[in-house]
Amino acid sequence: MIYSDKVMDHFQNPRNVGVIKDADGVGQVGNPVCGDMMTFYIKVKDYRLADIKFQTFGCGAAIAVSSMVSEMAMGKTLEEAMKITNSTVAEELGGLPKNKLHCSNLGADALHSAIKDYKKKQAAARGETVAEAPAEGKCYCPYCEGPIEGIEEVCGHCQVELEECPHCGNFTKKGEEKCVSCGAELEHH
């Protein structure tokens, strides 16, 4: 099996799946083009996450990550929840295969996006306006882990020139001798 027992447990028995109809904040990240999409719903009480539900379109890792994030964030204050990162999620899950690490980015992003949505709504209720946050990411650059479409030649975040590996189809920095995902030798003109 490519996944740890903990990942498989969260995949088979995902915690907190569903929709909160009257959510205080909703965050959605990813898109089906790169394979994963997550929606997080939160209820906030006394500045704490009183309830979290999620829905995920994606692979085993994406589902497990969403479940893990919801479990880690439940009951936490908004500040604490914002500190949950992709690496803490992957760590809690007992590790993820390298080519699935981008899934853990999406999980933390989706939660953070829901919290930002909540804060924006709160601010709006007070009559304040908040600068629109940039659109959430899709796929992730293997270098800066910034969101990318998965079709561009240059990462828009760290400006690394990306090259598609002819062996596994993943992206590696142009000029590298080996693919960062599958280790195959990359030929150069």
Position among 94, 169, 175, 183 found at the interface with other proteins (CB under 8 A): 169
| Min separation Cβ 130 and other proteins, Å | 24
Annotation says 158 is catalytic: no
Tell me how far CA of residue 79 lies from CA of 51, 124, 125, in angstroms: 16, 20, 20
Q: Which of 139, 155, 160, 186 binds other proteins (CB under 8 A)?
A: 139
Smallest separation (angstroms) from other proteins to the CB of 160: 15
Rounded Cα distance between 64 and 27, Å, is 18
Complex with other proteins: residue 100 or 112, whichever CB lies closer: 100
Q: Which is nearer to other proteins, 177 or 187 (CB)?
A: 187
Q: What is the nearest approach in angstroms of other proteins to the Cβ of residue 131? A: 26
Q: Is the dihedral of CA 165, 168, 171, 176 positive or negative?
A: negative
**Tokens found for residue 60:** 């085993």
Decide: 74 and 49 in contact? Cβ < 8 Å.
yes
If one counts every other C-beta atom within 10 angstroms of the C-beta of residue 80, the result is 13
The residue type at 39: T
Tell which one of 27, 107, 147, 150 touches other proteins (CB under 8 A): 150
Contact range with other proteins by CB under 8 A, out of 59-67, 71-79, 84-92, 115-123? 59-67
C-beta separation of 38 from 30 below 8 A: yes
168 has catalytic annotation: no
User: What minimum distance in Å lies between the beta carbon of 121 and other proteins?
Assistant: 20
Which position among 103, 141, 155, 165 bears the catalytic label?
103
Q: Binding residues for other proteins, per CB under 8 A?
A: 8, 11-12, 14, 17, 19, 28, 32-39, 55-63, 99-100, 139, 150, 166, 168-171, 181-182, 187, 189
Active site residues: 34, 103
